[in-house]
Amino acid sequence: MRADGSHRAPRVPRQRGGEVPRQREGGTLPSPPPAHRQAGEADRRRPVLLGRQTVFTVGGARYGCELLYRSAVATTPVDEWPADEQDRATRHVVLTALRCGLEALGGHGPVFVNATRTLFVGEMDLPPLPAGMGLEVVESVRAEPDVVAGVRALRDAGHLVAIDDFSGLPDQLVLLPDVDLVKIDLRDLRAHGAGLLDAARRYGATTVAERVETPDDLAWCRTLGFDLVQGNLLEPALVLDVGRVRSSGSHR
């Protein structure tokens, strides 16, 4: 699918002299001035957005979901951004998902996020990830030795790893033996032919058809033997405002 962390303790506000504000005898702190209250209310109203699209079995049962970066400001697709901006998008989705709780966002199935090289090589500032979070290798990731080692370590830790937008690129072919799922956009399958699906299955990976838009697309996926399907025919990608969702206390 094309893409369109320990939690730090909250900082304690200090007075100008460097002292922590003390409670009054009545047991409560003074209320902030009206202007500060208004600013705080505005921050709480600021949307925190995530995209979510469910992944189904070809029989129509829910399997899991994919979380996507979304912004209130119109932007170019994330996969066209520079590497550092893609890293920020990945980190935002991961941290927001952890704060909300995977089960609250995706139920009991795996919850996938698009992941960049920085995550796979351990250079992204994140807390330990729950095993229920699946990781999709985006097209920009090169199959360098440290990336392959990172993919293997994450799988050993219980994560599902998928190749996103598989089109037979050399780096994708190198990663094939070390992933659990391979996702193929039906537009790429039409362009490259059935050999693309054969390549995806070479090491026994679960195959996922993306961009399933019509009943004919779904019937074709069943004929070809795809394991899972994702697309607007089954469920459009939903945009969720999770700004008011409190931490569930669970990172399952």
At 108, the pLDDT band (50, 70, 90 cuts) reads: confident
State the pLDDT at residue 244: 60
Mean pLDDT, residues 103-108 taken together = 88
At 249, the pLDDT band (50, 70, 90 cuts) reads: very low
Give the model confidence (pLDDT) of 221-233 as tens digits: 999 999 999 999 9
3-state secondary structure (DSSP) of residue 222: helix
Mean pLDDT, residues 63-68 taken together = 96
> How many Cβ atoms are within 10 Å of 217's Cβ, its own excluded?
18
E strand or H helix at 111: strand 111-115
Give the model confidence (pLDDT) of 24-44 as tens digits: 344 444 444 554 444 444 445
The CA distance from 89 to 196, in Å, is 29
At 247, the pLDDT band (50, 70, 90 cuts) reads: very low
User: Which residue has better confidence, 240 or 217?
Assistant: 217
- What are the Cα distances from residue 78, in Å, to 32, 44, 53, 115? 39, 26, 16, 12
Question: How much is the pTM?
Answer: 0.77
The pairing of beta strand 49-57 with beta strand 62-69: antiparallel
State the pLDDT at residue 91: 95
Helical residues (DSSP H) of the chain, grouped into ranges: 34-45, 83-100, 102-106, 117-120, 145-156, 170-175, 186-192, 195-200, 215-224
Angle at 5 between CA 83 and CA 139, to 5 degrees: 30
The CA distance from 53 to 76, in Å, is 19
State the pLDDT at residue 10: 38
- Decide if 213 contacts 185 (C-beta within 8 A): no
Give the model confidence (pLDDT) of 121-130 as tens digits: 999 999 999 9
The CA distance from 201 to 217, in Å, is 20
Give the model confidence (pLDDT) of 184-216 as tens digits: 999 999 999 999 999 999 999 999 999 999 999
Q: What is the maximum span of the chain, computed from C-alpha positions, in angstroms? A: 76
User: Which residue has better confidence, 75 or 247?
Assistant: 75
State the pLDDT at residue 229: 98
User: What are the counts of helices (DSSP H) followed by strands (DSSP E) for the chain?
Assistant: 9, 9
State the pLDDT at residue 97: 94
- Residue 207: both structure tokens together: 């195959």
